[in-house]
């Protein structure tokens, strides 16, 4: 099977899986406890006004009618109006998405670079103290409970030392200052991003280190490494230019999938650090029974994850000529 046929087949599979996900989300949110109208109704509102509000949201229609409207809206890109905010859902999603992409894409890329760099060193020094310390450190960081680590980081670096802001993404006084330029605003965002970024790097770099170490150990057994040594190449050249590039292929797959899943914004991370991204909005929409917003967020995650898997498959075949579809 050629790559083109593989892509077409995978796109058809993605369409089927996406349809199933849409249906499951619709059913789950209708089965969830809580009535969005009850959360929005003012105590002084009459039953007639509450009924009008319900009709305006389409919640008075039969479930099958709601489902057909739901499919039509998804097909046309109209995800409806948020029950809580009263504005189009896609406007909210597009406002929050760049914040999530900025934080989590940066953290994954930096974690991957750090993990690959340390992983190849650990594999090269297998059995030595350096390898032992790196492996133990990676396992320890990888098993840390993220909310606990985030709270510790906030308590020490923000509260006790005062180096970083406790929560949020920007400082209002900077962004409303007419004298503040692009550089000032960018530095302000980076200042707020430092703590969540460090937390995510500490949590994630260990997995890349362990994957790289394991892959590197397998690669070092291959014949071309023996040939490179027989040619008289120095150890650093063999490690960095022969072994590491081939050993990094599993890491590429892991990074690609991590980038796809990062679109959910890490609900815990964004909630703890009050980072205004998709993950925090997802938690809010679910807790407030805001069906349109929650469904849009979940569908966005599903699309990115499904396409991310496809991109990883294509990228893997491109990087490794031994793979054919």
* Top-tier CATH class for 94-319: mainly alpha
d(CA 167, CA 141): 23
- Cα-Cα-Cα-Cα torsion 44, 46, 52, 55, nearest 10 degrees, comes to 90
The mean pLDDT of the chain is: 80
% of the chain beyond a pLDDT of 90: 4
Q: HEC string of the chain?
A: CCHHHHHHHHHHHHHHHHHHHHHHHHHHHHHCCCCHHHHHCCCCCCHHHHHHHHHHCCCCCCHHHHHHHHHHHHHHCCCCECCCCCCEHHHHHHHHHHHHHHHHHHHHHHHHHHHHHHHHHHHHCCCCHHHHHHHHHHHHHHCCCHHHHHHHHHHHHHHHCCCCCCCCCCCHHHHCCCCCCHHHHHHHHHHHHHHHHHHHHHHHHHHHHHHHHHHHHHHCCCHHHHHHHHCCCCHHHHHHHHHHHHHCHHHHHHHHHHHHHHHHCCHHHHHHCCCCCHHHHHHHHHHCCCHHHHHHHHHHHHHHHHHHHHHHHHHHHHHCCCCCC
pLDDT tens digits, residue range 275-316? 888 888 888 887 777 778 888 888 888 888 888 778 877 777
Inform me whether the pLDDT recorded for 70 exceeds 70. yes
Inform me whether the pLDDT recorded for 36 exceeds 60. no
Q: Which residues pair with 81 in a beta bridge?
A: 88
Confidence of residue 249 (pLDDT cuts 50, 70, 90): confident
pLDDT tens digits, residue range 94-144? 888 888 888 888 888 899 889 888 988 888 888 888 889 999 999 898 888
Inform me whether the pLDDT recorded for 20 exceeds 80. yes
Residue 159: the pLDDT is 87
Inform me whether the pLDDT recorded for 41 exceeds 70. no
Residue 55: the pLDDT is 66
What are the domain boundaries of the chain?
14-76, 94-319
Residue 14, both tokens: 């993605």
When pLDDT is averaged across residues 224-233 and rounded to a whole number, the result is 75
Per the confidence metrics, is the pTM higher than 0.85? Answer: no
Residue 136: the pLDDT is 92
% of the chain beyond a pLDDT of 70: 85
Residue identified by tokens 């109208």 is: 37
Q: How far is CA 269 from CA 58, 203, 218, in A?
A: 34, 11, 35
């Amino acid at each position: 099977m050629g790559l083109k046929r593989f892509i077409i087949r995978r796109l058809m599979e993605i369409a089927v899986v996406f349809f199933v996900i849409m249906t499951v989300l619709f059913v789950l949110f209708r089965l969830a406890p809580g009535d969005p109208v009850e959360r929005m109704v003012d105590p002084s509102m009459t039953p007639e006004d509450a009924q009008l509000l319900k009709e305006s949201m389409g919640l008075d229609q039969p479930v099958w009618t709601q489902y057909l409207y739901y499919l039509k809206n998804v097909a046309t890109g109209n995800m409806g109006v948020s029950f809580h905010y009263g504005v189009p859902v896609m406007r909210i999603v597009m406002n929050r998405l760049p914040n999530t992409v900025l934080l989590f894409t940066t953290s994954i890329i930096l974690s991957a670079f750090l993990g690959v760099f340390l992983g190849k060193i650990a594999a090269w020094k297998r059995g030595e103290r350096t390898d032992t310390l790196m492996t133990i450190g990676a396992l320890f960081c990888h098993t840390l409970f993220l909310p606990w680590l985030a709270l510790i980081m906030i308590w020490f670096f923000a509260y006790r030392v005062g180096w970083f802001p406790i929560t949020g993404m920007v400082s209002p006084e900077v962004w409303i200052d007419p004298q503040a330029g692009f550089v000032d605003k960018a530095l302000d965002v980076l200042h707020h991003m430092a703590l969540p970024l460090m937390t995510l790097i500490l949590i994630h770099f260990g997995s890349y280190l362990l994957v790289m170490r394991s892959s590197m150990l397998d690669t070092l057994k291959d014949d071309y490494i023996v040939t490179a040594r027989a040619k008289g190449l120095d150890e650093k050249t063999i490690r960095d230019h022969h072994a590491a590039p081939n050993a990094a292929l599993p890491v590429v797959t892991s990074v690609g999938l991590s980038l796809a899943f990062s679109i959910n914004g890490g609900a815990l991370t964004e909630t703890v650090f009050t980072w205004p991204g998709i993950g925090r909005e997802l938690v809010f929409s679910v807790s407030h029974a805001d069906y349109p917003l929650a469904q849009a967020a979940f569908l966005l995650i599903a699309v990115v994850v499904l396409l991310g898997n496809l991109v990883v498959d294509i990228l893997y075949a491109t990087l490794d000529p031994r793979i054919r579809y």
